[in-house]
Amino acid sequence: MADWLQLAKDKENSMIQTRRYLHQYPEISFEEHQTHDYILSQLQLLSCEIQHPVGSNGIVATFKGNGNGPTIALRADFDGLPVEELRDSPYKSKHSGISHACGHDGHTSVLLAVAEILEEYKSQLNGEVVLIFQHGEELMPGGAKEMTEAGCLEGVDRIYGNHLWSGYPTGSIYSRSGSMMASPDEFNIAIHGRGGHGAKPHETIDPVVVMAEFILSAQKIVTRTIDPVKHAVISFGMIQAGAADNVIPDSAYCRGTVRVFDTDIQSHIKYKMEKLLEGLAVANDITYELDYIKGYLPVNNDPQCYEVIKTATKALNLLYSDSDLMMTGEDFSFYQSVIPGGFFLTGCGNEEKDTMHPHHSPYFDIDEAALKYALSVFLTILEKEGVLRA
């Protein structure tokens, strides 16, 4: 019987080297051309079937075995973020203003290691393994949508994905059945009034005051119109108006996010925001514009896939726990809207290595010791699914 954890440990150094190379050359969503070419060059050394580009920059590698086992897909994303890296390291980003501040470089190095091992164990494949290297996770509408519409899931029975997670300790695996991550909507609002002198507010229609009223009233959508046992968040991340202390501006602007697990609640919040703005327009003689952008669907783990992740983790004697519900979003949910799928988090937080910084932070980094655990879980999932013989 194969010792998948030991096999993963044997790949640890090469995964770290791959991850550090990718970390130095990050590219933002839908512009990952150099990264695409690097992944492709590594896959072309193997005997898998390769499709590229799938969508804008995605790559699909398929390993076919004997027998009538299932077709299981594994997915990794590879885009970076428009975040200037402030952490000093030998593998610091060489691209100004861009960094791998979310661990996607680690995800890619793990999936490339899966490909290498599948090449070695090809005679033990019972069915097919489809490796999805996805671009554009960080920017809506997301690379998952593009790749799925291009056919990357055709013939696939189930799909699994992993995310390195700095909020959980290295050596631990987290997942949960059903809802796991929220739908990350965005909104942009403009309120137009009539500007004037700050000393004569009665001669103006002050959009700043109306915007302030909207922001405060919007909080009541969650606290007073949604069942308290449900989960919903409305957060405002940008407010902009005026340029002088004694001038009331013509317009005020805000941007924010809505996070929910339930699409009915998502629609309810959008409706209530529209009604609130309509009321403010009537009461204050303002005009407004609301641009509400629905984000990725909530990550919702298939119960059977969840059990496979949990069983695989325990078979490796790794620490398993059910994750908290998370208000972060992930476009892995798009795959799950098409076929059953399971998503898990691999802890990479280590205080001694200073890898506890939150995702998207300019100081973000991973404990590279976590790579072998993510790899071993993927391999064990393939075994539990009956597609890779131990």
pLDDT digits (tens, 9 = 90+) for 188-220: 999 999 999 999 999 999 999 999 999 999 999
**pLDDT score recorded for residue 287:** 98
Active site residues: 79, 137
| Residues 171 and 70 grouped into a single domain | yes
The last residue of one of the domains, among 258, 293, 328, is 293
* Beta carbons within 8 Å of 310's beta carbon, 6+ residues apart: 175, 320
Which residues span the domain enclosing 221?
Answer: 183-293
Q: Is residue 33 located within the same domain as residue 77?
A: yes
Strand order in the sheet with 287-293: 232-241, 251-260, 183-192, 287-293
Mean per-residue pLDDT, 4-30: 98
Domain co-membership, 71 together with 198: no
Whether 193 and 282 map to the same domain: the answer is yes
Residue at which a domain ends, from 267, 293, 319: 293
Whether residue 390 lies inside any domain: the answer is no
Is residue 1 predicted with pLDDT exceeding 80? no
Domain final position from 293, 315, 336: 293
- Those residues with Cβ within 8 angstroms of residue 302's Cβ, 6 or more apart along the chain or in another chain: 158, 336, 340, 341, 342
Pair (205, 273) in one structural domain:
yes
Give mean pLDDT, residues 346-355. Answer: 98
Is 389 a member of any domain?
Answer: no
**SS3 category, 215:** helix
Same domain for 273 and 307?
A: no
State residue 102's pLDDT score. 98
267 lies in the same domain as 307: no
In the structure, what pLDDT confidence band is assigned to residue 17 with cuts at 50, 70 and 90? very high
Task: Give the CA distances from residue 161 to residues 133, 209, 374, in Å, rounded to whole numbers and listed in that order.
Answer: 11, 46, 10
The residues with which 257 forms a beta bridge, in sequence order, are: 186, 235
CATH code where residue 147 lies:
3.40.630.10
What does the pLDDT look like over 64-85, one tens digit per residue?
A: 998 889 999 999 999 999 999 9
80 occurs within a structural domain: yes
Same domain, 44 and 176: yes
2: pLDDT confidence band, cut at 50, 70 and 90? confident
- Closest alpha carbon to 38 in 57, 56, 55: 57
Question: Which of 100, 12, 119, 115 has the alpha carbon at shortest distance from 59?
Answer: 115
Residue 390 pLDDT:
82
| 88 and 30 within one domain | yes
Helix axes 12-24, 104-120, angle to 10 degrees: 140
Residue 363 inside a domain? The answer is: yes
Mean per-residue pLDDT, 129-140: 97
Look up the CATH number of the domain holding residue 245: 3.30.70.360
pLDDT computed for residue 66 by the predictor: 86
Q: Give the model confidence (pLDDT) of 262-298 as tens digits.
A: 999 999 999 999 999 999 999 999 999 999 999 999 9
* Helix, coil or strand: residue 235: strand
Provide the number of structural domains found in the chain: 2
* First-to-last C-alpha distance (Å) of the chain: 5
d(CA 323, CA 167): 11
188 plus 334 within the same structural domain: no
8 A C-beta contact, residue 280 and residue 205: no
- Look at strands 66-77 and 126-134 and give their pairing: parallel
What interhelical angle do 104-120 and 33-43 show, nearest 10? 20
Same-domain pairing of 132 and 62: yes
Among residues of the chain, what percentage have pLDDT more than 90?
A: 98
Residue 176 shares a structural domain with residue 189 = no
Is the pTM here over 0.75, yes or no?
Answer: yes
